[in-house]
Amino acid sequence: MKDQLQASAPLALLTAYQVGGPAQWYLQPTRERVLDETLAWARREGLPVTIIGAGTNLLISDSGISGLVVHLRSWRGFKTPEDGVLEAKAGESIAALAYQMARRGWSGLEWAVGVPGSVGGAVVMNAGAHGAQLSDSLESIEVLTESGERRRVSAAELDLGYRTSNLQERDWVVLSARLRLEPGCGPEKLLARLDEYNAFRHRTQPSGYPNCGSVFRNPQGDKKAGWMLDRSGLKGHQIGAAQVAEQHANFILNRGGATARDILTLMAHMRERVLSDWGIALEPEVRFLGSGLLWSFEHHRFASI
């Protein structure tokens, strides 16, 4: 139910992996007043606040998330570019925006056509594909700070890097993003490019089972995570109902009934194998939410997650 605070709300079906326990408190806001008042309540109660968008890059603990979970999937809307500036709310689908802009003849988001996430999530992770990333066009964002203040923050202040930003360490809510686009080569050619990117994605990435895309970031150097995982013989490896995809070794599939523990244990095994074979410690691209997930991953302790 939108704009209503819910207790013990299930989260699994809101994520791409379709695993994880409930939120202690859950809100899917559509109105600024509701968001402001609920966040103020959480601050008074001393509750931690977790923001989720499309749920495509998350692994939620089987025990769930304590505090307040704010789900921004209904925080949608965008303003058609004037002079190339696009303003989009955090809950907008970044892939859908790529199509909308291509149809209008604006270039700069074509890379995002196969990215199944929201604008807000793309900002936080500095999402990218096909040699491009959001930071190439991001001018600024509007945020709600931990004190309830609305601020306009420039892209230069976000320390944007490969699949990272300093927003990952801040308790800010990304409300919208301002992007600088360029006049393209015409809608027909832009849409053809999007079709090419989509076809490439379908050829190279698995489908049919829940997954959240790439599990590990590509390390520096010429060896990609998927290539090393493949050469280490991990395709098809399975723990519980979590399986390394046969089509792409940097994907984990929920084959039906997987738990966060299954996925996390498999991730740790994959990382350990690559470290042993290649001397490289892969860093997760997946965002861990819930008590103990990151600690369990780093220390190989999976008794209660």
Alpha carbon 51 to chain centroid, angstroms: 11
Look up 214 and say whether it is catalytic: yes
Residues 6 or more apart whose Cβ sits within 8 Å of residue 99: 113, 191, 194
Q: Which residue has the tokens 């692994």?
A: 59
CB of 241 closer than 8 Å to CB of 262: yes
Please identify which of the residues 93, 107, 118, 214 carries the catalytic annotation.
214
User: Hey, what long-range contacts does 46-53 have (CB within 8 A, 24 or more apart)?
Assistant: 49/171, 49/173, 50/23, 50/289, 51/120, 51/173, 51/174, 52/11, 52/14, 52/15, 52/289, 53/90, 53/91, 53/117, 53/118, 53/119, 53/120, 53/121
Residue 163 bears catalytic tag? yes
Catalytic residue (choose from 118, 285, 287, 296): 285
Residue 262: burial class (beta carbons within 10 Å; 0-12, 13-18, 19+): buried
The catalytic position among 163, 178, 193, 261 is 163
Strands (E), the chain: 6-9, 23-27, 49-52, 58-60, 65-71, 78-82, 85-89, 106-107, 128-129, 132-133, 138-144, 150-154, 173-180, 182-183, 238-239, 242-244, 252-254, 287-289
Task: Give the DSSP letter of residue 204.
Answer: H
Residues noted as catalytic? 163, 214, 285
